[in-house]
């Protein structure tokens, strides 16, 4: 039976991505959309799955209405209280959950890069570039690159620390204001002199069977944009630092694509349905 989806926040970057993906999904259809400026379209009562794709702080008001349905909240609001929706790490938990929190886009890249070597990480340095669409529909493109919330101030640092189980992360996000989509995160893990081979092998092995993650020579957002794929590049340095580059499309694997991947698991569908 087909999943009948409602999308609240349907006119934003993430909402529109979900609407587009579900239009081509064999086992799901959109039965209702809503945003404040667009108003309601379709029949909410027909929905058995709800995507909340609104800015943070907005989901709460809709929770009573969606209480008896499966829900995916793309905002930060439930990332430490609901099941955390990175299927490559938590597939079984997601499949058994009715409420899943979509991870942040930076956090998706950083966590996928570092999770397989959590136990080897003493300290993690991250510099990550993001296209302007990471900042929502009100941000506009200009010729500029800008570090912001440098060091330990970005709101997605909390979920990174929570999932990776370490406080020792320094994070420098940078917005590429002339680029529309895509995130390329560079993670530097020092102190791996004696464990470098273990670390490289752990990351390679972790994603062997993952349909959307590939370890490649040179990750690039151009290779993954428009897809739900993740590219990871590994550069072991002679002095014991492992440099891990991770490229994703923030609107796909970093948001809407991963939301559909989660919906698939929550509804007993093949993980790749509508995303291949």
Ligand X SMILES: NC(=O)c1ccc[n+]([C@@H]2O[C@H](COP(=O)([O-])OP(=O)(O)OC[C@H]3O[C@@H](n4cnc5c(N)ncnc54)[C@H](OP(=O)(O)O)[C@@H]3O)[C@@H](O)[C@H]2O)c1
Query: How do 124-131 and 83-84 pair as beta strands?
Result: unpaired
User: Closer CB to ligand X, residue 70 or residue 79?
Assistant: 79
* Binds ligand X (CB under 6 A): choice among 55, 191, 211, 240: 55
User: Closer CB to ligand X, residue 14 or residue 47?
Assistant: 14
The reply on whether position 221 binds ligand X by CB under 6 A is no
Across the strands, what pairs with 185?
A: 128, 246
Dihedral angle over CA of 205, 210, 216, 220, nearest 10: -140
DSSP 8-state symbol, 151: B
How far apart CA 276 and CA 212 sit, in angstroms, is 9
How far apart CA 238 and CA 271 sit, in angstroms, is 38
Q: What are phi and psi of 25, to 5 degrees?
A: -95, 125
How far apart CA 49 and CA 194 sit, in angstroms, is 48
* Binds ligand X (CB under 6 A): choice among 1, 24, 36, 222: 36
Stretch that binds ligand X, among 49-57, 141-149, 187-195, 239-247 (CB under 6 A): 49-57
* Binds ligand X (CB under 6 A): choice among 26, 56, 168, 204: 56
Q: Tell me whether residue 105 is one of the annotated catalytic residues.
A: yes
* Binds ligand X (CB under 6 A): choice among 255, 263, 265, 269: 255
User: Closer CB to ligand X, residue 133 or residue 225?
Assistant: 133
Output the smallest distance, CB 40 to ligand X, in A. 10
Binding mask 3-32 for ligand X (x = CB under 6 A): -----xxxxxxxx-----------------
Are 132 and 180 a contacting pair, CB within 8 Å?
yes
Cβ neighbour number for residue 46 with a 10 Å cutoff:
12
Number of residues counted as binding ligand X (CB under 6 A): 33
Known catalytic residues are 105
Give the footprint of ligand X on this chain (CB under 6 A): 8-15, 34-38, 53-56, 58, 74-76, 102, 104-105, 133-134, 136-138, 250-251, 254-255
């Amino acid at each position: 039976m087909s999943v009948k989806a409602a999308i609240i926040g349907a006119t934003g970057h993430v909402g529109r991505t979900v609407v587009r993906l579900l239009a081509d999904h064999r086992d799901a259809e959109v039965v209702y959309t809503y945003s404040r400026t667009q108003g309601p379209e379709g029949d909410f009562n027909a929905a058995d799955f709800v995507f909340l794709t609104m800015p943070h702080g907005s989901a709460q008001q809709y929770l009573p209405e969606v209480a008896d349905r499966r829900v995916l909240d793309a905002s930060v609001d439930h990332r430490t209280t609901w099941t955390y929706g990175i299927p490559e790490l938590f597939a079984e938990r997601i499949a058994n959950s009715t409420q899943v929190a979509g991870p942040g886009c930076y956090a998706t890249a950083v966590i996928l890069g570092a999770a397989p070597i959590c136990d080897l990480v003493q300290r993690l340095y991250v510099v990550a570039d993001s296209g302007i669409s990471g900042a929502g529909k009100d941000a506009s493109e200009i010729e500029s690159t800008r570090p912001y919330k440098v060091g330990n101030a970005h709101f997605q640092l909390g979920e990174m620390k929570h999932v990776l189980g370490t406080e020792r992360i320094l994070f420098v996000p940078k917005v590429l204001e002339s680029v529309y989509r895509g995130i390329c995160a560079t993670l530097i893990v020092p102190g791996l002199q004696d464990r470098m081979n273990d670390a490289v092998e752990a990351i390679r092995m972790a994603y062997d069977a993952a349909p959307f993650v590939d370890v490649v020579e040179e990750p690039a957002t151009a290779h993954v944009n428009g897809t739900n794929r993740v590219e990871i590049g590994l550069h072991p340095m002679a002095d014991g630092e492992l440099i891990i580059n991770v490229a994703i499309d923030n609107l796909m694997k970093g948001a809407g694509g991963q939301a559909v991947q989660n919906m698939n698991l929550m509804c007993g569908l093949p993980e790749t349905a509508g995303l291949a």
